[in-house]
């Protein structure tokens, strides 16, 4: 897939998902709406972004939120006779169930991540590389601390999966709730 088309498709997916939140849900005020923040922005190490991701989380009910994120990285490796390069661009999208009261919650999430990646490994032939795109399944089982207006912290297991494979993984996040 052409990299330029991959960028356009990924950007379109993010814009479509964020803009598709129904206005009635976004404007509805749940009971006790003053007990939690609706918005959070956070940086996640590892997790669905594999190395990192930048995320926005919108809490549309006391115990439900939707997360959208972005990750893009490039890791080169060169020994002279052997070189490798891995490029990744992903857009994690996840719905989270957050049971509990106060700032501490169990975090249970399920979602997907369109990814656009390119890898190349060559022994004396730098022209051999592969380009691909696909969709990964993502999940979260963890702990979330989200103050009303202030600290956002999250840690948990974040397995990645597709139809053929399950890869155990973990992530840790820090950011701000507002």
Domain ranges of the chain: 3-14+35-177
- Structure confidence at residue 23 (pLDDT): 41
pTM (2 decimals)?
0.74
Q: Where is average pLDDT lowest: 51-60, 76-85, 93-102, 166-175? A: 76-85
How many other C-beta atoms are found inside a 10 Å radius of the C-beta of residue 67?
25
User: Which of the pair, 122 or 151, is modelled with greater confidence?
Assistant: 151
Q: Answer for the pair 59, 36: CB distance below 8 angstroms, yes or no.
A: yes
How many other C-beta atoms are found inside a 10 Å radius of the C-beta of residue 162?
11
Express each pLDDT in 92-119 by its tens digit.
Answer: 999 999 999 899 999 999 999 998 887 7
Mean pLDDT of the chain: 82
Three-state DSSP at 76 gives strand
- 158-173 average pLDDT score: 94
| Residue given tokens 């390119």 in the structure block | 118
Record the tokens describing residue 32, joined without a space: 């006790």
User: Which of the pair, 155 or 126, is modelled with greater confidence?
Assistant: 155
Three-state DSSP at 30 gives coil
According to CATH, the topology of domain 3-14+35-177 is Porin (2.40.160)
């Amino acid at each position: 897939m052409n990299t330029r088309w991959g960028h356009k498709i990924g950007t379109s997916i993010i814009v479509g998902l964020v803009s598709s939140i129904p206005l009635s849900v976004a404007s509805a005020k749940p009971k006790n709406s003053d007990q939690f923040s609706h918005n959070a922005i956070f940086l996640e190490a590892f997790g669905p972004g594999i190395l990192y991701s930048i995320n926005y989380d919108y809490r549309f009910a006391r115990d439900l939120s939707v997360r959208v994120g972005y990750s893009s990285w490039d890791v080169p490796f060169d020994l002279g006779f052997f070189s490798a390069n891995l490029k990744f661009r992903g857009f994690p999208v996840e719905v989270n169930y957050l049971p509990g009261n106060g700032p501490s919650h169990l975090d249970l999430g399920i979602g997907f991540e369109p990814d656009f990646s390119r890898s190349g490994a060559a022994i004396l032939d730098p022209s051999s590389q592969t380009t691909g795109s696909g969709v990964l399944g993502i999940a979260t089982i963890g702990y979330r601390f989200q103050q009303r207006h202030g600290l956002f912290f999250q840690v948990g297991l974040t397995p990645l999966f597709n139809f053929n494979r399950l890869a155990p993984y973990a992530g840790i996040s820090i950011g701000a709730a507002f």
